[in-house]
Amino acid sequence: MRILDLALKDLSQMLRDKRSLFFIVVMPIIFTLFMGFAFRGISQSDEEVDNRIPLALVDPQPDSRLNKMFFTRLDSSGAIKVMVMNENEAMDAFRKGEVAGVLVIPDGFSEQVEAGNEAQLNLIAETSSSEGQSIYQLLRVPISQLMSAVEIARISADLQSNPAEYSPAIELAWSKWDENSKLSLVSVEQAATEKSSDWTGGNPYNQASPGILVQFAIFGLITSAQILVQERKTRTLQRLMTTAMKPWEIVAGHLLAMFTLTFLQTILLVVFGQLALNVNYMREPLGTLFVCVALGLWVASMGLLIGVIAKVDEQVILFSMIAMFLFSALGGLWFPLEAAGGAFAAIGKAMPSAWAMNGLQNILIRGLGLESVWMAVGMLSAYALGFFLLAVWRFGKMDV
Amino acid sequence: MNAIEVKNLKKSFGDFQAVQDATFSANAGEVLSLLGPNGAGKSTTISMLSGLLTPTGGDASIMGHSVTKEPELAKASLGVVPQDIALYPDLSARENLVFWGKMYGLRGAALKSRVDEVLEIIGLTDRQKDHVGKFSGGMKRRVNIGAALLHKPDVIIMDEPTVGIDPQSRRHILDNVKELNRQGMTVLYTTHYMEEAAELSNHIAIMDKGRVIAYGSHDELIKMVGQETRIDVTLNAEAEKILDAWRATEGVARIDSLDGKITALVDDSNRVLPRLFDAASKHGVRITSVDIQEPNLETVFLHLTGRALRD
């Protein structure tokens, strides 16, 4: 009970200071918005970027039946962006790299094919490039379907010995191809691998929100560690030691206050991220909760250690700032460690802040489940235990 | 059973022996003063009694509980008033008392009524909602004492509680100590003001350089120096010119010189003083001031150590 009373006293002192509230609540929200805007410029969302491959289409007879059917299919494609041009414009755009290829439909293509003669489309593309390869593959399917539809219609008309059957048959065959091509045989879910080029998973706040959340949890140490230093300076710690309270109870009381402050701040930022920035922490609520608890324990233990080591307020600020910048930069809170690569990323990945980010981003960006946070939670808890034991050892040697 | 029992208590910091074989005791319900100059070892001794320092040797007990073997039980019977103000300046007087009451295990209605009582005792009921940081030094001292009284301890240790405060607050604190003692509380009071020790104490332990050099009631200690009177003299010349002559003067028990001031212990000031003037005149030395003090604790300390208590 006395542990709780001590923690409540600490919290009451922390929350009385309006400047602390500003740094604990307002500043992280402002920084999250700021960082989100910064990342928006680097990694725009899917909705804003047209990822289709641009293709110039040169079609001298756009009103011919097969030309029209083929254009409609291409234009509705999610993979190809069709830009109708004359031949000169198309070649100019290709040279400038504005299109990945030029597809030329020859004069009389529709009539020739329907008459059963051979006709060839002409694709101009850089076949050694991935886009050139892609556009070739993407065109093969609708062309094959178009030729199949023509063949089916012709066979159908021949079988019935009625040439008038050709037109309804080709319309029917083409529409069936169209229906089949729209069937969702495979569902696609938004996700990203660690090496994905879109490291924000489509929402720039997926990096900014957890990054600032972890960073300001560490920054909050200034407030909580100062309580311990003030307690030593005002000799109230000495007085506490003269009560029947055991030293471990005093340590636990202060730790509880620091944990509560960090945890509440973290939850507040999670709620803000979820509601205001569409960062989907609630996709795996238990996972988010476990990471936040483990993060709170690690940060509180580090705050306790700083509070025990620092002799004056200035040292608390210095040590907290060093911790914040070290763990923020190395831990990938400002930018993904994958973007840094090499030794930097290798060292950074060992940081507890990196584990916190990893746990949260497994949920937010990689779309993974609860099981994906266990490693992060375990590592953060191990760091928390290490810092706590160091703090208790130092507390025992402290001159009160 | 003695409320406080100290036996051969020792504390060393490296080679420095801060407390050496301190032995004294206080009966339940009495006031025991630890008297001595700064650095005598008083604060180190009470730090060991309150569990802040671990003794290097010996032991002490509070209400029969050893401070080394049963520290929690010893602390539960103890209220400590530290020399420094040990309060939260950003909390009000009442919030401070409520917090410390909880630390001593009080809860609910019992806590509330005890806080009200203590505010009454320290005379700060009207200012209970003000932040302690805004209080005068004397008012802070009173809250500092109040925080140690909340759990009605059997023994209260007060470490120089009147240092640096105004005469009015000092008087208030001394009256508080007497009242607490009247209510049956055992008080261990450390001070370097012999007047306070003389006024408050049933027994006095005089400490110097880490040792208890005398222990007894006020009268018993005075008897140690007989009826010697202390005479402080200042001269218009170097003390060495006259010191040997005065030492040889009949009726002078002891004579010491420090910083140009000469202190003599004499058996009868009326008889000895004219002889001192004569000797000074013969050596061409002029006496510029004389201060005569009847035997007191200051005299005892001087007698035992050769130094004034406030040196």
pLDDT in tens, A207-225: 788 888 888 888 877 777 8
Q: Closest residue of A to B72, CA-based?
A: A244
Residue B98 has pLDDT above 90, yes or no: yes
Write down the pLDDT at residue A49: 55
B310 by DSSP, 3-state: which?
Answer: coil
Residues B160 and B288 in one domain: no
- Output the average pLDDT for chain A: 81
Q: Which helix (H) or strand (E) holds A179?
A: helix A166-182
One domain, residues B155 and B262: no
Measured between CA atoms, the residue of chain A closest to residue B150 is A243
Q: Is the pLDDT of residue B118 over 80?
A: yes
Q: How confident is the model at residue A340 (pLDDT cuts 50, 70, 90)?
A: low
Does B25 lie in the same domain as B172? yes
**Is B304 within the bounds of a domain?**
no
Chain A residues lying within 8 Å of B131, measured CB to CB: none
Residue B72 has pLDDT above 90, yes or no: no
Q: Round to whole Å and give the CA distance between A361 and A377.
A: 13
Binning pLDDT at 50, 70 and 90, where does residue A181 land?
Answer: low
| Residue B306 counted as domain residue | no
The C-alpha atoms of residue A1 and residue A47 are separated, in whole angstroms, by: 54
pLDDT tens profile B133-176: 999 888 898 899 999 999 889 999 999 888 878 888 888 889 98
Domain ranges (residues) in chain A: 2-45+195-396, 53-182
A79 token code pair = 């993979």
Q: Give the separation between CA A128 and CA A130, rounded to whole angstroms.
A: 7
For chain A, what percent of residues have pLDDT higher than 90?
12
Least confident among A145-149, A178-182, A356-360: A178-182
CA angle (B210, B159, B208) in 5-degree steps: 20
Query: Are residues B289 and B245 part of one domain?
Result: yes
Output the pLDDT for position A276.
81
pLDDT of residue B100: 94
Supply the pLDDT for residue A199.
59
Contact B104 A238 (CB under 8 A): no
Cβ(A269)–Cβ(A36) below 8 Å: no
| B76 with A244: Cβ contact below 8 A | yes
Q: A283 Cβ partners below 8 Å, 6+ apart?
A: A363, A364, A367
Rounded to an integer, what distance in angstroms lies between the CA atom of residue B35 and that of residue B301?
9
Beta carbon pairs, A and B, within 8 Å: 61
> Per-residue confidence at A183, pLDDT binned at 50, 70, 90?
very low
Domain that holds residue B288: 227-294
In this predicted structure, the answer to whether residue A46 has a pLDDT above a threshold of 60 is: no
Stretch A297-315: mean pLDDT? 87
| A161 compared with B69, residue with greater pLDDT | B69
Residue A40: predicted pLDDT: 61
The rounded distance, in Å, linking the Cα atoms of B79 and B157 is 6
Do residues B217 and B232 share a domain? no
Per-residue H/E/C for A135-157: HHHHHHHHHHHHHHHHHHHHHHH
CA distance B198 to B2: 21
In the block, which residue shows the tokens 């083409």? A174
Would you place residue A381 in the very low, low, confident or very high pLDDT band (cuts 50, 70, 90)? very high
Q: Is the model more confident about A40 or about A319?
A: A319
Give me the residue from B80, B86, B147 closest to A234, CB to CB: B86
DSSP code string of B112-136: HHHHHHHHHHTT-GGGTTSBGGGS-
Q: Which residue of B has its CA nearest to A17?
A: B90
Between chains, do A246 and B72 touch, taking CB under 8 Å as contact?
Answer: yes
Who wins on pLDDT, A275 or B290?
B290
Mean pLDDT across the stretch B38-61? Answer: 90
pLDDT at A191: 47
Q: Which residues contact A252 (CB under 8 A, 6 or more apart)?
A: A3
Query: In the listed set B158, B189, B222, which residue is the last one of a domain according to the structure?
Result: B222
Residue A330 near residue A353, CB atoms below 8 Å: yes
Assess contact for B295 and B229: CB atoms under 8 A.
yes
pLDDT at A8: 92
Contact A238 B100 (CB under 8 A): no
Query: Long-range contact list for B271-280, CB < 8 A, 24+ apart?
Result: B272/B231, B273/B231, B275/B249, B275/B250, B275/B251, B276/B231, B276/B233, B276/B246, B276/B249, B276/B252, B279/B242, B279/B245, B279/B246, B279/B249, B280/B235, B280/B242
DSSP structure string for A234-283: TTHHHHHHHSS--HHHHHHHHHHHHHHHHHHHHHHHHHHHHHHH---GGG
User: According to the model, what pLDDT value does residue A294 have?
Assistant: 94
The pLDDT of A105-113, averaged and rounded, is 88
Q: What angle do CA A340, A206, A297 make, to 5 degrees?
A: 85
- In DSSP terms, B205 is beta-bridged to B34, B215
Q: Would you place residue A350 in the very low, low, confident or very high pLDDT band (cuts 50, 70, 90)?
A: confident
Structure tokens at A92: 């100019």
Bridge partner list, B12:
B17
Residues B166 and B261 in one domain: no
* In a shared domain, residues B197 and B287: no
pLDDT at residue A184 in the model: 43
Q: How far apart, in Å, are the Cα atoms of A325 and each of A209, A334, A351, B23?
A: 17, 10, 12, 55
DSSP, res A105:
P
Last residue of some domain: B222, B242, B275? Answer: B222
User: B300 in a domain, yes or no?
Assistant: no
CA-based torsion, B249, B250, B256, B260: positive or negative:
negative
Asked if A5 has any chain B CB less than 8 Å from its own CB, the reply is yes
**What is the pLDDT, as a whole number, of residue B93?**
94
Inside any domain, residue B307: no
**Same domain? B159 vs B251:** no
User: Are residues A6 and B103, on separate chains, in Cβ contact within 8 Å?
Assistant: yes
Q: Return d(Cα B169, Cα B174) in angstroms, integer.
A: 9
CATH number at residue B57: 3.40.50.300
Does A192 have pLDDT greater than 60?
no
Q: What is the pLDDT of residues B265-295, one digit of tens each?
A: 888 888 999 999 999 888 888 889 999 888 7
Report CB contact under 8 Å: A239, B78. no
What is the spatial distance between Cα A264 and Cα A276, in angstroms, rounded to a whole number? 18
Instruction: Determine, for residues B88 and A234 on separate chains, whether the beta-carbon distance falls below 8 Å.
Output: yes
Give the residue, A243 or A188, on which the prediction is more confident.
Answer: A243
| Element spanning B156, H or E | strand B155-159
Output the pLDDT for position B63: 92
Q: Does the pLDDT at position B9 exceed 50?
A: yes
Shortest alpha-carbon distance between residue A393 and chain B (Å): 17
pLDDT at B8: 92
Q: Which of the residue ranges A4-13, A172-181, A239-248 has the most confident prediction, judged by mean pLDDT?
A: A4-13
Same domain? For B84 and B178 the reply is: yes
CB contact at 8 A, A228 and A304: yes
**pLDDT surpassing 60 at residue A187:** no
* Chain B residues contacting A via beta carbons under 8 Å: 50-52, 72, 75-76, 78, 80, 82, 84-91, 99-100, 102-105, 107, 147
| Most confident among A31-40, A246-255, B96-105, B246-255 (mean pLDDT) | B96-105
The confidence score (pLDDT) of residue A188 equals 42
**Residues of chain B contacting A9 with CB distance shorter than 8 Å:** 88, 91, 99
- For residue B301, tell me if it sits in a domain: no
A58-80 average pLDDT score = 85
Measured in angstroms, the CA of A241 and the nearest CA of chain B are apart by 7
**Predicted confidence (pLDDT) at residue A134 exceeds the cutoff of 80:** no
Grouping H, G, I as helix, E, B as strand and the rest as coil, residue A123 is: strand
**Is the domain A53-182 a CATH 3.40.190.10 member?**
yes
Q: Count structural domains, chain B.
A: 2
Q: How far is it, in rounded angstroms, from Cα A65 to Cα A59? A: 12
SS3 label, residue A362: helix
Residue B53 lies in a domain: yes
Q: What is the mean pLDDT of residues A359-384?
A: 87
Determine the residue type at B237. Answer: A
Domain end: B222, B255, B279, which one? B222
Residues 6+ apart with CB under 8 A from A261: A11, A14, A24, A220, A223, A224
Residue B123 phi/psi, 5-degree rounding, is 70, 35
Higher pLDDT, A338 or A66: A66
Of all helices (H) and strands (E), which one includes residue B207? Answer: strand B203-208
What pLDDT score was predicted for residue A102?
92
3-state SS, residue A118? coil
pLDDT at A279: 82
**Are B71 and B166 in the same domain?**
yes
| A52, two tokens | 């289709």
Does residue B92 form part of some domain? yes
B75-94 pLDDT, tens per residue? Answer: 988 999 988 899 999 899 99
Other beta carbons less than 10 A from residue B67's beta carbon: 24
Check whether residue B181 and residue B133 sit in a common domain: yes
